[in-house]
């Protein structure tokens, strides 16, 4: 899962990014509305955390710009103001949820997971695919009922696949969702990560679509 964080408070941005990375999210950070708007319009993200009080371009204007460009990623807005009008402005601009500062980072993580789950078309918090299951609220994968130990990159690839199970996910999209900044080294290429995942979940579960990408196969007709 790749998140765009647009927050001008450097210490808060670092705290949020650190917590998200500990939960296996990939995070890109923008410190002002202008940079955030550009990233949201040109890169692929699963969700965005957007402060309303931003320099250069206000958060609500950034969000309206994304929606005008046809960007439908889930957006969680942050505001230091507890006024109802600020929240209304955010929702009118196209926000999906909000948090008022100060807030608990754990709540932000849970809300982001819920937003991404709903945006992927999954109503229930538990997603199953054959012997594999994913608890979207906690980020825990299980295989045959037992917790599955994964590296951060493996988790991101498997999460991307299970949220789109029975659908081919192109290699380019996987790369966009998995890596922060530059594409990973050869030892952490998508092909290498998928090979490691197959050893952990079974070869039959992850199908290769030659020339396109990979599909997590639930075995459904």
Which parts of the chain have pLDDT scores under 50? 220-221
For residue 186, the model assigns a pLDDT of 56
CA atoms of 115 and 122, how far apart (whole Å): 10
For residue 27, the model assigns a pLDDT of 95
In 11-163, DSSP assigns E strands to 26-30, 47-51, 75-79, 97-100, 126-129, 132-135, 140-143, 146-147
Look at strands 206-209 and 146-147 and give their pairing.
Answer: unpaired
Structure pTM?
0.81
Q: Would you say domain 2-119 falls under CATH 3.40.50.300?
A: no
For residue 83, the model assigns a pLDDT of 66
CA atoms of 196 and 202, how far apart (whole Å): 10
Topology of 126-216 in CATH? Arc Repressor Mutant, subunit A (1.10.10)
Domains 2-119 and 126-216 share a fold: no
CA atoms of 99 and 115, how far apart (whole Å): 13
- What are the domain boundaries of the chain? 2-119, 126-216
């Amino acid at each position: 899962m790749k998140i765009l964080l647009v927050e001008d408070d450097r210490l808060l941005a670092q705290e949020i990014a650190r917590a998200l990375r500990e939960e296996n999210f990939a995070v890109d950070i923008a410190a002002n509305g202008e940079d955030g708007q550009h990233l949201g319009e040109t890169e692929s993200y699963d969700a965005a955390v957007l402060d309303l009080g931003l320099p250069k371009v206000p958060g609500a204007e950034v969000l309206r710009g994304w929606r005008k460009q046809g960007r439908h990623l889930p957006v969680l807005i942050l505001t230091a103001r507890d006024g109802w009008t600020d929240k209304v402005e955010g929702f009118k601009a196209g926000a999906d949820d909000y948090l008022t500062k100060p807030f608990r980072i754990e709540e932000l993580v849970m809300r982001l997971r819920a937003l991404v789950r709903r945006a992927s078309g999954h109503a229930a918090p538990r997603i199953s695919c054959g012997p594999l299951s994913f608890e979207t609220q906690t980020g825990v994968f299980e295989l045959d009922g037992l917790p599955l130990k994964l590296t951060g990159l493996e988790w991101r690839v498997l999460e991307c696949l299970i949220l789109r199970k029975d659908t081919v996910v192109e290699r380019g999209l996987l790369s966009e969702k998995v890596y922060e900044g530059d594409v990973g080294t050869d030892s952490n290429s998508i092909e290498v990560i998928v090979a490691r995942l197959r050893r952990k979940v079974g070869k039959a579960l992850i199908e290769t679509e030659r020339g396109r990408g990979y599909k997590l196969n639930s075995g459904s007709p």
